[in-house]
């Protein structure tokens, strides 16, 4: 409808101009035609007069007039010649043919003949009047008045008028068609160009749109977008440290208090029964460690699988419970899974399939059709829960991790305006490795329902983009890191995750480092000066626990003076114990620990303490503060938060971090002793170096690590993602406005 209106704007003036042209051209054409024919008839009249001159001269000498009469009768047999009249030089009618009008005198004929059209109307129709001199040998003899039929001129004029009207109408139609097509094409080019600009293409590189006439406007739009972005950045305040207040203010201003919904498989609080009492546990999970402080700062709703035995006892009729217990800062909405669903979705597809697939830690992924079915069904149930919780058609949804790869597209199908931020907490492998997943296209298509897709490192982003490039028909714009697939565009970006930096009040409440050292050593029956290294992990084969034990064994072998002087404490939270791969791995760790302890048996201590149980946060903090060294030797890790927790716990600026180069954290924590965990000798040497590192060097390294983690904390992680989401929403709003004003 709008397109028609736009086209009419071109067409109506065009048609008016054509009608005007026809209106002016037709009388002009008539006059011209009349003049041309009158001139022709004049020439013809002269010719007739010249031809008859001799016969008229002889006829004038005949006193009976019979010769002239018979000459005139013969000549006017020509159907175009209506009549002839012979006038004397003094203007007297001497003779005329029978149809010559008797009312026409010689004087009148001379006057009419002098006019440009020289036309009169007689009984048979219009005639042309021409007066021509009849020349004799001695000069002019008389004037011959020739009357010729003029009606054919009118007929021809009529024909010409018709042809002219048809020509103008045809010309109008062709011009209208060209106008419509050109207007339509130009409009498309315009819209494409404007859209490209709104996507930010024109901001960095010159416009690649098909509408060169947009160039002058592009500069203006670019300027306007830059102004808006500057305004946006200014409103965020100076580049200060990110903290809960700043995050809250970001939500209030940039996201205008929009609803925030987090979705993950793992819940942040688990209610369990202990005798008659219900207790609350925090799961050992990097995801929970990172996302929980963000939720506390922003309120909102967290949808997760209710996995605790007493979870159902504490929720309301909508399966909701306010958490943290006693503080009630946000809503936890629990979703219930049957044991079969949990087996297929969580243990099967996510943990036996995607987890080893993405970590490439030499454990074969297992893909079962039934697991995939469960995975899809459970993702759909999470998506339905999001739809049920959404209070508007454009909530901000934070989907977490590899358990929910299909979720973004499922939400997008019903809430096309939602801003979906998906964060992939584990690594993303290269295209070849990912290619072995039988449902690789479906997984990628599901993730590309996200508005923003986050990974810990640029390297994982690059791997993801290359994987999409390999397996999907999608448009990738590398310079802007966007992927357009079907009708959606996703922005792929790295957001290194972190921890909540402890507040001054929290730190003030911690027991002193000396006290922590003493208590931990007492608990393990160790002397006060005993050196301790710690490892804290979920009991998972990707964490490099076995390689770490081998390194400890090599240290004691290579530097035997440490036997009886040094111990390694491994805290391992039971994880995924119902999977055979995990059970056999855990058995192996127990066996290797026993072997090492036997080999380096000493009356004062064990070489390795394996504490295979869940620890509360305070207990872990005490251990971090008591340790001389923290060892993180993941074979492959998205980020790893343990190393950051260790650093945050050391307000005494002491302690040494040994960190695997295959953990995402190694990219920002260069002051650690970075090792290749597969290289046992290198890790053993790093242990030796850490145990003998002078306090001054420890201080220097730890202070630098602490300032990095303090600045790059989890509020910054969430803040950067939400800032990008805010910017994206602003662009979408502008684009929607352009769309609304765009003709259909
Ligand atoms: P995880 O592999 O679970 O998560 P990781 O970064 O190693 O994460 O953090 C584990 C968390 O569990 C830490 O907060 C730690 O304190 C806690 N934890 C470990 N052992 C524990 C125990 N015995 N008792 C209690 N708590 C324990 C995934 C990715 C990581 C990524 C995180 C966050 O695999 O690479 O860093 O998500 O994105």
Question: If you average pLDDT over residues 184-207, what whole number do you get?
Answer: 63
Ligand 1 centre to CA of 707 (Å) is 21
Most confident of 14-28, 155-169, 280-294: 280-294
Distance between CA atoms of residues 678 and 633, nearest Å: 9
Q: What is the DSSP string of 210-221?
A: S-GGGHHHHHHH
Share of the chain above pLDDT 70, in %: 92
Ligand 1 centre to CA of 499 (Å) is 11
pLDDT in tens, 345-396: 999 999 999 999 999 989 999 999 999 999 999 999 999 999 999 999 999 9
Ligand 1 centre to CA of 676 (Å) is 20
Q: Sorting pLDDT into bands at 50, 70 and 90, what band is 79?
A: confident
The first and second tokens of residue 477, run together, are 């714009």
Distance between CA atoms of residues 346 and 124, nearest Å: 107
Ligand 1 centre to CA of 640 (Å) is 7
Q: Which atom of ligand 1 is nearest to the CA of 645?
A: 16
User: In the sheet where 301-305 sits, what is the strand order?
Assistant: 320-323, 330-335, 301-305, 260-263, 396-400, 419-423, 452-455, 488-494, 482-485, 475-477
Q: Which atom of ligand 1 is nearest to the CA of 634?
A: 7
- Of all protein residues, the one whose alpha carbon is nearest to atom 18 of ligand 1 is 284
Distance between CA atoms of residues 651 and 648, nearest Å: 7
Q: Which atom of ligand 1 is nearest to the CA of 637?
A: 35
Residue 287, H or E segment: helix 286-298
pLDDT in tens, 506-556: 999 999 999 999 999 999 999 999 999 999 999 999 999 999 999 999 999
Which residue would you say has higher pLDDT here, 381 or 742? 381
Q: Out of 640, 647, 717, 721, give the residue to mutate to test ligand 1, the one with the largest number of ligand atoms within 8 Å of its CB.
A: 640
* Contact predicate 595/499, CB 8 Å: no
Question: If you average pLDDT over residues 686-690, what whole number do you get?
Answer: 98
Please compute Rg for the chain using Cα positions.
49
Ligand 1 centre to CA of 625 (Å) is 18
Other Cβ atoms within 10 Å of 664 Cβ, number: 24
Q: What is the DSSP string of 133-156?
A: EEEETTEEEEEEEEEEE-HHHHHH
The first and second tokens of residue 576, run together, are 């995924």
Quick check: 233 pLDDT over 60? Answer: no
Ligand 1 centre to CA of 285 (Å) is 4
Q: Which atom of ligand 1 is nearest to the CA of 289?
A: 14
Ligand 1 centre to CA of 38 (Å) is 107
Ligand 1 centre to CA of 400 (Å) is 14
In 390-521, the DSSP E strands lie at 396-400, 419-423, 452-455, 475-477, 482-485, 488-494
Cα 58 → chain centroid: 103
Q: Out of 269, 502, 536, give the residue to mutate to test ligand 1, the one with the largest number of ligand atoms within 8 Å of its CB.
A: 536
Distance between CA atoms of residues 597 and 296, nearest Å: 44
Pocket of ligand 1 (CB under 6 A): 284-287, 289-290, 425-426, 497, 536-538, 571, 573, 614-615, 620, 637-642, 645
- Of all protein residues, the one whose alpha carbon is nearest to atom 20 of ligand 1 is 537
pLDDT at position 385: 98
- Of all protein residues, the one whose alpha carbon is nearest to atom 37 of ligand 1 is 286
Ligand 1 centre to CA of 642 (Å) is 6
Q: Out of 538, 542, 661, give the residue to mutate to test ligand 1, the one with the largest number of ligand atoms within 8 Å of its CB.
A: 538
Q: What are phi and psi for residue 130, nearest 5 degrees?
A: -130, 135
* Contact predicate 540/576, CB 8 Å: yes
CA-based nearest residue to 378, from 426, 355, 345, 402:
345
Would you say how long the chain is, in residues?
Answer: 744
Quick check: 202 pLDDT over 50? Answer: no
């Amino acid at each position: 409808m709008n397109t028609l209106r736009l086209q009419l704007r071109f067409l109506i003036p065009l048609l008016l101009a054509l009608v005007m042209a026809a209106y002016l051209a037709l009388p002009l054409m008539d006059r011209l035609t009349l003049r041309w024919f009158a001139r022709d008839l004049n020439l013809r009249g002269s010719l007739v007069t010249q031809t008859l001159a001799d016969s008229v001269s002889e006829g004038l000498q005949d006193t009976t007039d019979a010769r002239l009469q018979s000459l005139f009768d013969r000549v006017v047999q020509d159907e175009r010649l209506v009549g002839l009249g012979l006038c004397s030089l003094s203007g007297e009618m001497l003779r005329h043919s029978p149809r010559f009008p008797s009312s026409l005198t010689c004087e009148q004929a001379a006057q009419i003949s002098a006019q440009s059209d020289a036309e009169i109307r007689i009984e048979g129709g219009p005639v042309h009047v021409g007066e021509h001199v009849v020349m004799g040998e001695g000069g002019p003899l008389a004037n011959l008045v020739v009357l010729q039929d003029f009606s054919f001129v009118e007929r021809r004029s009529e024909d010409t008028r018709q042809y002219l009207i048809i020509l103008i109408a045809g010309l109008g139609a062709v011009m209208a068609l060209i106008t419509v097509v050109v207007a339509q094409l130009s409009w498309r080019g315009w819209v494409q160009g404007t859209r490209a600009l709104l996507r930010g293409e024109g901001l960095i590189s010159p416009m690649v749109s098909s509408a060169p006439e947009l160039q002058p406007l592009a500069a203006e739009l670019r300027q306007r977008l830059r102004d808006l972005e500057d305004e946006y950045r200014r409103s965020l305040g100076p580049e200060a440290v990110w903290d809960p207040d700043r995050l809250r203010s970001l939500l209030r201003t940039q996201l205008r208090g929009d609803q925030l919904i987090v979705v993950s498989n793992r819940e942040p609080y688990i209610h369990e029964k202990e005798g008659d009492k219900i207790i609350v546990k925090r799961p050992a999970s990097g995801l929970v460690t990172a996302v929980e402080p963000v939720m506390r700062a922003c309120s909102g709703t967290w949808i997760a699988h209710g996995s605790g035995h007493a979870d159902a006892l504490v929720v309301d009729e909508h399966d909701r419970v306010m958490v943290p217990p006693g503080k009630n800062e946000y809503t936890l909405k629990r979703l219930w899974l049957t044991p079969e669903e949990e087996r297929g979705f969580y243990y099967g597809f996510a943990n036996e399939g995607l987890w080893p697939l993405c970590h490439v830690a030499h454990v074969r992924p297992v893909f079962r059709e039934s697991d995939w079915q469960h995975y899809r069904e459970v993702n759909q149930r999470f998506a339905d829960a999001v739809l049920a919780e959404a209070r508007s058609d454009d909530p901000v949804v934070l989907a977490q991790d590899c358990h929910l790869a299909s979720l973004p597209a499922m939400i997008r199908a019903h809430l096309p305006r939602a801003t979906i931020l998906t964060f992939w907490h584990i690594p993303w492998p290269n295209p070849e490795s990912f290619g072995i997943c039988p449902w690789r296209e479906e997984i990628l298509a599901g993730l590309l329902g996200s508005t923003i897709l986050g990974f810990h490192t640029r390297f994982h982003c690059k791997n993801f983009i290359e994987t999409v490039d390999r397996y999907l028909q999608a448009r990738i714009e590398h310079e802007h890191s966007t992927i357009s697939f079907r009708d959606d565009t996703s922005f792929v970006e790295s957001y290194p995750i972190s921890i909540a930096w402890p507040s001054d009040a929290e730190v003030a409440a911690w027991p002193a480092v000396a006290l922590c050292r003493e208590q931990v050593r007492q608990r393990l029956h160790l002397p006060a000066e005993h050196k301790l290294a710690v490892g804290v992990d979920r009991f998972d084969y990707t964490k490099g626990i076995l390689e770490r034990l081998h390194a400890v064994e090599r240290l004691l072998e290579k530097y035997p003076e440490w036997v009886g002087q040094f111990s390694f404490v491994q805290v391992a939270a039971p994880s995924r114990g119902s999977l055979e791969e995990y059970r056999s791995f855990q058995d192996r760790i127990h066996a290797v620990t026993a072997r090492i302890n036997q080999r380096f048996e000493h009356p004062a201590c064990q070489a390795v303490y394996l504490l295979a149980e869940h620890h509360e946060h305070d207990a872990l903090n005490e251990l971090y503060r008591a340790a001389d060294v923290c060892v993180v030797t993941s074979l492959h890790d998205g980020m790893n938060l343990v190393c950051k927790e260790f650093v945050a716990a050391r307000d005494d600026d002491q302690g040494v971090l040994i960190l695997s180069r295959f953990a995402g954290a190694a990219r920002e924590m260069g002051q650690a002793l970075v090792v290749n965990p597969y290289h046992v000798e290198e890790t053993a040497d790093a242990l030796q170096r850490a145990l003998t590192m002078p306090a001054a060097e420890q201080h220097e390294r730890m202070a630098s690590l602490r300032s990095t983690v303090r600045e790059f904390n989890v509020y910054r992680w969430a803040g950067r993602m939400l800032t990008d989401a805010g910017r994206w929403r602003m662009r979408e709003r502008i684009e929607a406005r352009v769309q609304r004003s765009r003709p259909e």
